[in-house]
């Protein structure tokens, strides 16, 4: 395909998004104004589904065990071409609303997919939007991990999304995360009259915390272990017969996360032996994998963002979190760059970030991000060498 044709396609994408920018900003604001936690995003998912269906996408709803998930597809009449996936998130944080900007993420992926789909019959291939609930976790959280388990990315050549942040930077490392809970069962008794007849389940949880605090001295610097007590008894004069704690156990690699998790499980088993309680260990949401960085893919995104007059900075965030996009990155080449919506002191999961997600700068970032995603998708569909280089980079990490 010649250079002039590519330039024409690029301009068509830019014009398509620009002409509909007010509609996309409105969608983003509607999602922001109706915050819904993971797997309860019925308003947000319907809004995105309706938008995609009106643009000719066929949509499969409630996939992989998540009632608010969807997969929207639009395929070229041509027989050949790559399949490009856009990852859409739209869940909010409990009590904080859209303080991670998922209103921008879901809308940007939708807008990018729609604009690129207008060219699909000319260039070939397939455009897919993966509507993935509960990125922030919660009950049956991290839907992308479920999508991976159900092999829903098997026919996809590359996946991309963009995340709002305090600067423009490429995909950065994220931590593997084991969301695990420990339920201790004991025996109730009067805490003053006959404490010897009770088995204190809360003591099991306390010993678990003590053991984990001792373990912290003997783990690598990338490991993070943090937890809460969700159940600890009913009254001070009753020996607690049930207690529960939830933890996130994180590490830079899945293998090291598994090792630390096994040590924590052994601590829990020891806490049960010490107190006489019984312990049940389970995962309360999907396990998260670390993100596999694909430098070639990031380079293509950076090139297309620069076409819009925006440059990625060589910025590495000070802290590392976890994302279920990491699970996707293990089965298909994936990028997760950030787009600036506020000043460099802006921090996610705060009221300030929530307000930035519908600020003027946030709206501008939505439109820029949508264009950059679509242009990147165009590059993969029209330049086999670039797509092959990305796939080779991916394969090297699995060799």
- Residues 99, 167 within the same domain: yes
Q: How many domains does the chain have?
A: 2
> Within this chain, do residues 263 and 295 fall inside the same structural domain, yes or no?
no
List all residues 6 or more positions away from 184 whose beta carbon is below 8 Å from its beta carbon: 201, 202, 204, 205, 208, 242, 243, 244, 271, 272, 275, 277, 278, 279
- What band does 319 get if pLDDT is binned at 50, 70 and 90? low
Q: How far apart are CA 356 and CA 342, in angstroms?
A: 6
Q: Are 167 and 310 within one domain?
A: yes
φ, ψ dihedrals at 231, nearest 5°:
-140, 130
Q: pLDDT category, 354, cuts 50, 70, 90?
A: very high
Report the CATH number that the domain containing residue 215 is assigned in CATH: 3.30.70.360
State how far the Cα of 170 lies from the Cα of 336, in Å rounded to an integer. 7
Instruction: Phi first, then psi: give them for residue 358, nearest 5 degrees.
Output: -130, 20
DSSP single-letter state for residue 288 = B
Residues 271, 299: one domain? no
Average pLDDT, integer, range 311-329: 86
pLDDT tens for 269-302 read 999 999 999 999 999 999 999 999 999 999 999 9
Helix (H, G, I), strand (E, B) or coil at 78: coil
Q: Which of 283, 304, 327 is the last residue of a domain?
A: 283
pLDDT 10s digits, 211-237: 999 999 999 999 999 999 999 999 999
- Could you tell me where the beta strands, DSSP code E, fall in 173-286? 176-185, 224-231, 242-251, 278-283
- Distance between CA atoms of 210 and 229, rounded to whole angstroms? 13
Query: Per-residue pLDDT averaged across 159-165, rounded?
Result: 98
Judge if 39 and 156 occupy the same domain.
yes
Q: Within this chain, do residues 31 and 79 fall inside the same structural domain, yes or no?
A: yes
Task: Find the mean pLDDT for residues 110-126.
Answer: 97
Distance CA 340, CA 287 (A): 29
Band the pLDDT of 318: cuts 50, 70, 90. low
Task: List, for residues 57-76, the tens digit of each pLDDT value.
Answer: 999 999 999 999 999 999 99
Provide CB contacts within 8 A for 328, sequence distance 6+.
Answer: 87, 144, 147, 148, 153, 159, 334
Q: How large a percentage of the chain has pLDDT more than 90?
A: 94
- Say if residue 260 is in the same domain as residue 319: no
Per DSSP (E only), the strands in 106-239 are 126-131, 158-160, 163-165, 176-185, 224-231
Indicate if the pLDDT at residue 207 is higher than 70. Answer: yes
Look at residues 224, 251, 283 and tell me which one is the last residue of a structural domain.
283
In this structure, the answer to whether residues 238 and 99 fall within a common structural domain is no
By percentage, how much of the chain surpasses pLDDT 70? 99
Q: Is 313 a residue whose pLDDT tops 90? A: no
- Asked if residue 187 and residue 52 are part of one domain, the reply reads no
Q: Which domain holds residue 278?
A: 176-283
Question: 299 and 251 in one domain?
Answer: no
Q: Rounded mean pLDDT of 103-124?
A: 97
Q: Is residue 58 within a helix (H) or strand (E), and if so which, with residue range?
A: strand 58-61
Q: With 80 as the cut, is the pLDDT of residue 192 above it?
A: yes
* CATH assignment of the domain containing 45: 3.40.630.10
Clarify whether residues 68 and 168 are in a common domain: yes
| Chain centre to alpha carbon of residue 11 | 30
Last residue of a domain, one of 262, 283, 304: 283
Same domain, 197 and 306: no
DSSP 197: G
């Amino acid at each position: 395909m010649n250079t002039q044709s590519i330039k024409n396609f690029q301009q068509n994408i830019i014009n398509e998004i620009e002409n509909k920018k007010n509609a996309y900003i409105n969608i983003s604001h509607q999602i922001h104004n109706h915050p819904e936690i993971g797997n309860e995003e019925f308003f947000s998912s319907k809004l995105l589904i309706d938008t995609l269906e009106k643009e000719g996408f066929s949509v499969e709803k409630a996939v992989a065990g998540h009632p608010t998930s969807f997969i929207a597809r639009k395929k070229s009449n041509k027989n050949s071409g790559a399949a490009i996936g856009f990852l859409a998130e739209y869940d909010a944080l409990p009590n904080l609303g859209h303080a991670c900007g998922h209103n921008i993420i879901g809308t940007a992926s939708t807008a990018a997919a729609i604009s690129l789909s207008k060219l699909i019959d000319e260039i070939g291939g397939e455009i897919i939007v993966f509507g993935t609930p509960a990125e922030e976790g919660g009950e049956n959280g991290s839907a992308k991990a479920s999508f991976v388990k159900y092999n829903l990315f098997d026919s996809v050549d590359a996946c991309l999304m963009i995340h709002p942040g305090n600067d423009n930077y490429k995909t950065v490392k994220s931590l593997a995360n084991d969301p695990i809970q420990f339920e201790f069962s004991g025996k109730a008794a009067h805490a003053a009259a006959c404490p010897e007849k009770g088995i204190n389940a809360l003591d099991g949880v306390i010993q678990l915390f003590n053991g984990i605090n001792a373990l912290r001295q003997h783990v690598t610097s990338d490991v993070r272990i943090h937890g809460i007590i969700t159940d600890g008894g009913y009254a001070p004069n009753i020996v607690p017969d049930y207690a529960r704690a939830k933890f996130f156990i994180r590490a830079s690699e899945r293998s090291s996360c598994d090792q630390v998790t096994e040590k924590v499980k052994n601590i829990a088993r020891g806490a049960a032996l010490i107190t006489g309680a019984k312990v049940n260990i389970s995962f309360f949401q999907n396990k998260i994998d670390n993100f596999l960085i694909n430098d070639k893919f990031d380079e293509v995104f950076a090139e297309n963002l620069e076409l819009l007059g925006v440059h990625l900075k060589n910025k590495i965030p000070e802290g590392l979190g976890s994302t279920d996009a990491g699970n996707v990155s293990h089965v298909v080449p994936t990028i997760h760059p950030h787009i600036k919506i506020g000043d460099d002191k802006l921090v996610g999961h705060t009221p300030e970030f929530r307000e930035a997600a519908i600020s003027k700068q946030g709206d501008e970032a939505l439109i820029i991000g949508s264009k950059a995603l679509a242009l990147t998708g165009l590059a993969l569909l029209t330049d086999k060498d670039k797509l092959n280089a990305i796939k080779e980079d991916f394969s090297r990490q699995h060799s």
